[in-house]
Chain A
Amino acid sequence: MIEAQQLAVTFNAGTPMETPAMRGIDLTIPEGEFVTVIGSNGAGKSTFLNALAGELKPDSGHILIDNQDVTNWPTAKRAGLVARVFQDPLGGSCASLSIEENLALAHARGKRRGFGASVSNNLHEEFRTHIARLNLGLENRLGDRMELLSGGQRQAVSLLMSALQPMKILLLDEHTAALDPKTAAFVLELTREIVEERQLTTLMVTHSMRQALDVGHRTVMLHEGRVVLDVKGDERKGLGVEDLLHMFEKVRGSELDDDALLLS
Chain B
Amino acid sequence: MSQIALLGAVEVGLLFALVALGVYLSFRVLQFPDLTVDGSFPLGAAVSASMIVAGFDPFLSSFVAALAGAAAGLVTAWLNVRLKILHLLASILTMIALYSINLRIMGRPNIALLGENTVFTPLEVLDMPTYVALPIALFGLVVVLKIALDWFLNSEIGLAMRATGENPRMARAQGIHTDRYILGGMALSNALVALAGALFAQSQGAADVTLGVGVIVVGLAAVIGGEAILSPRTVYRATLACVVGSILYRLAVAGALNADALGLKAQDLNLITAVLVALAMVLPGMRMPFKTKKGGVK
Contact = CB atoms under 8 A, between A and B. Distances in A.
Interface stretch (B118-126, B162-170, B198-206, B248-256): B162-170
Interface residues of B, number: 23
A105 B166 contact: no
Given A55-B172, A79-B172, A94 B155 contact: no
A248 interface: no
Most B-side CB within 10 Å, residue of A53, A83, A113, A119: A113
Contacts of A117: 154-156
A109 B177 CA distance: 11
B170 A76 contact: no
Contacts of B155: 114-118
* Interface SS of A by simple majority: loop
Most A-side CB within 10 Å, residue of B152, B154, B178: B154
B172 A104 contact: no
B148 to A, nearest CB: 11
A79 B169 CA distance: 12
B84 interface: no
Nearest to A81: B175
B88 interface: no
A91 B167 contact: yes
Given A118-B155, A145-B233, A108 B166 contact: no
A94 B166 contact: yes
Interface in B203-255: 233
Contacts of B157: 113-115
Interface string A62-78: 00000000000011110
Contact of B175 (A79, A86, A97, A101): A79
B162 A94 contact: yes
Contact of A105 (B169, B174, B178, B233): B174
Given A94-B162, A97-B163, A116-B156, A108 B175 contact: yes
B111 interface: no
B264 interface: no
A76 B167 contact: no
Interface of A: 53-55, 74-77, 79-80, 82-84, 86, 91-97, 101, 104-106, 108-111, 113-119, 145
Given A94-B166, A109-B173, A118-B158, 20 more contacts: A74-B172, A75-B172, A76-B177, A79-B173, A79-B176, A82-B173, A86-B169, A86-B170, A91-B169, A92-B170, A93-B170, A95-B166, A95-B167, A105-B160, A109-B175, A115-B157, A116-B155, A117-B154, A117-B156, A145-B233
Interface of B: 152, 154-160, 162-163, 166-167, 169-178, 233
